[in-house]
Chain A
Amino acid sequence: MTALLVTGLHKAFGPTRIIQGIELSVAKGERHAVIGPNGAGKSTLFHLISGRLRADAGQVLLDGQDITGLPPHDIFNRGMARSFQVTSLFPKLSVFENLRAAAMRDGGCGLAFWRRLDGYAPLRQRAEDLLAMLGLDRRRDVLAGNLAYADQRALEIGVTVAGGAHTILLDEPTAGMSRAETERAVTLIRRVTEGRTLVMIEHDLGVVFDLADRISVLAEGRVIASGLPDQVRGDPAVRTAYLGAAAETLDA
């Protein structure tokens, strides 16, 4: 069963073609890493899949349903959630409130203005559970804008998964983290994406080979390699993409 299927995706900004025909297939329950040199178009790919940008051509299927061109909130309601490379939280709400807000849609809140928010007990419970899982219970009432960076990144992941989506997109979740923080983050990601489909942009190859079931390599707007970690590791095209044409001479 394919959770996410991307075919023939193209995107240009004026004369600059960022995405030049991407094909990507992610199986249900798979942990799929997207790697590639800077400027390859990885974040743009996420923006296209999650509805933040409109593709010029191509199709995105989520669980067999066509989500191409849908606005972000419709895509979320079909079961896909994403995180952001630059932390995107609610700075003037507390950590707890951030998580609760993220879980509201799934918690059946709708846009009700006739019921107390505190009255939705399951919603509160889910936020509390997530708080514990993220290790942020002692920061429960801290305003998200005042958190330390690593805590913010953890909360970013928490907010992404709080809504119960079955397909999670994480955009460089461990960017800017120390060794220890990265290890904690990897454990966290493994736990919260248990039983879900994960697509992850990452630069830290240690994390990639630790977590990923399959890897796709993006370069210059195209997927140049895709498969099991060992296959990709040994692919000469991948080495060239990362190290440049000089990679060939390095071997010789």
Chain B
Amino acid sequence: MLAPAQVIVARPRAGSALRSMLPWVLVAALALVMPHVVPGGFGLSLLCRMGIAIVFALSFNMLLGQGGMLDFGHAVFLGLGGFLAMHFMRLADAGWWLPLPLLPLAGAVGGLLAAIAAGWIATRRAGTAFAMITLGVAELVVAIVLLLPGTFGGEEGLSGDRSSGPRVLGFDFGTQLQAYHLIAAWAWGCALLMWLYTRTPLGRLANAVRDNAERVGFLGYNPARIRWLVFALSGLFAGVAGGLAALNDEIVTSGNMGPDASGGVLLMTFIGGIGTFWGPVVGAILITFLSVALSTVTDAWQLYSGLLFVAMVVWAPGGLSGIILAHAPLVRAGRLGRVVPGYLVCLPGLVLAVAGTVGLAELAFRLQAVRNGASPRPVFGIAVDPGSLLPWLVALALLLAGALLLRRTAPPARAAWQEASVASTAP
């Protein structure tokens, strides 16, 4: 459905088991080293959030990219797992012997149980109906959570203290650094398990169901049963992410499981690329970083990520990893040089269109600010009066010029890629 159309051949995963473990060893080493590369508490906090996002996005892609199931309410499993983990954290605060490193297991259980229940209803259907059921169930759960302040803490949620539980090997996990190592270890382990899952019979059958659910039935398996199992496992890992979030933030609220969070993981997974295992990892890292970095510079960053998302749905449905994968054969065949000129020619059009869009959005924000009495910040470093017509016309002109240029320069670039791609993958 959304795989890059030009991937003609699946590269078989030959080579020893040791060879395939190498990337994982490297990633583990990288994770250990990161705190020294990234300075300060802010950087560590960002890394922690990335780790949580990685687990969450990977669990989401078990459904979408690998199973063809679009789940609009995935954050529910993260949230419910988080709430269960938080309850255990509070019990640990109260003196029970529940060591913090095991807390994400509680998240796993919470996510798993919720996914079994929700999945029983949702996986009876496929496609659009499935997606709508997940939408309905998610909204139902959030509404019910808010109606039960005793269990879920109402509007303010539930909070706890991760450092007041029992010490493990002398650690109380109070510092961000210790929390980071715990989160990184769990994230690495979950990613490995989710990767191994793709090499199991169930993982392969999920792919088959994604491609052609009906045929799977005619091959002796009940496709709904497969979907249910995968849904449950996906919920389990989302629950772990929730447990990690509870651990990191020391608070869980209904906002963790709301439609914004579900929409967010969808965006980041898709932008990263649903056609590969590592695409969601890329998306999680990138979007987490941008959300933090851009939100200091502009108020419109959510609009930008939404626009990026839609642009990718239309023109690059394989996401960033899909784009990279589509160019890998060219690199191997040494034909990358054939397409680079075409891309460079497209660049001015792209820059103008982006500048125009950003200009319009930023002007709109400045206009709002002026209406509320504040003085407007400069756009792209230029002081502008959002009340006057000129900046608007300039931004609109930039956008239109960029769009027209792209319209002219994109087809030849695409044609060049197509030609180079076919030449590089001819069997």
Contacts and interface: CB of A to CB of B under 8 A. Distances in A.
Do A and B have CB atoms closer than 8 angstroms in the complex?
Answer: yes
Contacts of B8: 142-143, 146
Interface residues of A, number: 43
Contacts of A105: 219-221
A252 interface: no
Interface in B182-205: 196-197, 199-205
Contacts of A104: 201, 204-205, 219-221
A236 B130 CA distance: 53
A127 to B, nearest CB: 12
Query: In which size bucket is the chain B interface?
Result: 35 or more
B204 A101 contact: yes
A106 to B, nearest CB: 8
B220 A163 contact: yes
Contacts of B7: 143
B407 to A, nearest CB: 30
Given A82-B218, A113-B201, 18 more contacts: A73-B217, A73-B220, A84-B215, A88-B212, A88-B214, A90-B211, A96-B12, A100-B204, A101-B204, A106-B220, A111-B225, A112-B200, A113-B202, A113-B233, A116-B196, A117-B204, A141-B12, A143-B9
Given A93-B211, A142-B8, A117 B218 contact: no
A116 B201 CA distance: 7
Contacts of A82: 218
B23 interface: no
Nearest to A98: B208
B229 A113 contact: yes
Given A73-B220, A73-B222, A90-B215, A141 B205 contact: no
Contact of A111 (B202, B217, B219): B202
B427 interface: yes
B11 A141 contact: yes
Listed residue (B9, B197, B226) with the most chain A CB atoms within 10 angstroms of its CB: B9
B10 interface: yes
Interface string A167-181: 000000000000000
Please classify the interface of chain B as helix (H, G, I), strand (E, B), loop, or mixed, using the class held by over half of its residues: helix
Interface string B313-352: 0000000000000000000000000000000000000000
Contacts of B210: 92
The 8 closest A-B pairs by CB, nearest first: A105-B220, A90-B211, A113-B202, A109-B201, A76-B220, A72-B217, A94-B10, A113-B200
B312 interface: no
A72 B212 CA distance: 14
A105 B222 CA distance: 11
A21 to B, nearest CB: 26
A118 interface: yes
